[in-house]
Amino acid sequence: SLGRSRFDFLLKKDNQSLVLEVKSCTLFNQEIAMFPDAITLRGKRHLIELAELGEGQV
């Protein structure tokens, strides 16, 4: 768990950490996966927390 969310994997090597979230998706184009029928508040919060992790805010 990081912040208010649980993520699938936390990979560590030396002093670096990587949060890995695994999803399956049936709708996608060449570069992006889409979940148009599964919009949830929890999912939105999860994406925001992943973005904050990427920016070093969590």
Helix (H) / strand (E) containing 46: helix 41-54
| pLDDT score at 1 | 66
Give buried/exposed letters for 9-33 (b at 16+ CB in 10 A, else e): eeeeeeeeeebeeeeeeeeeeeeee
- In the predicted model, is pLDDT for residue 58 greater than 60? no
> Position 24: which residue type?
S
Q: How far apart are CA 37 and CA 26, in angstroms?
A: 11
Ranges of beta strands (E only) in the chain are 9-13, 16-20, 27-28, 33-34
| pTM of the predicted protein model | 0.55
Banded model confidence at residue 3, pLDDT cuts 50, 70, 90: low
Which pLDDT tens digit goes with each residue over 22-52? Answer: 877 778 888 888 777 767 787 788 888 888 8
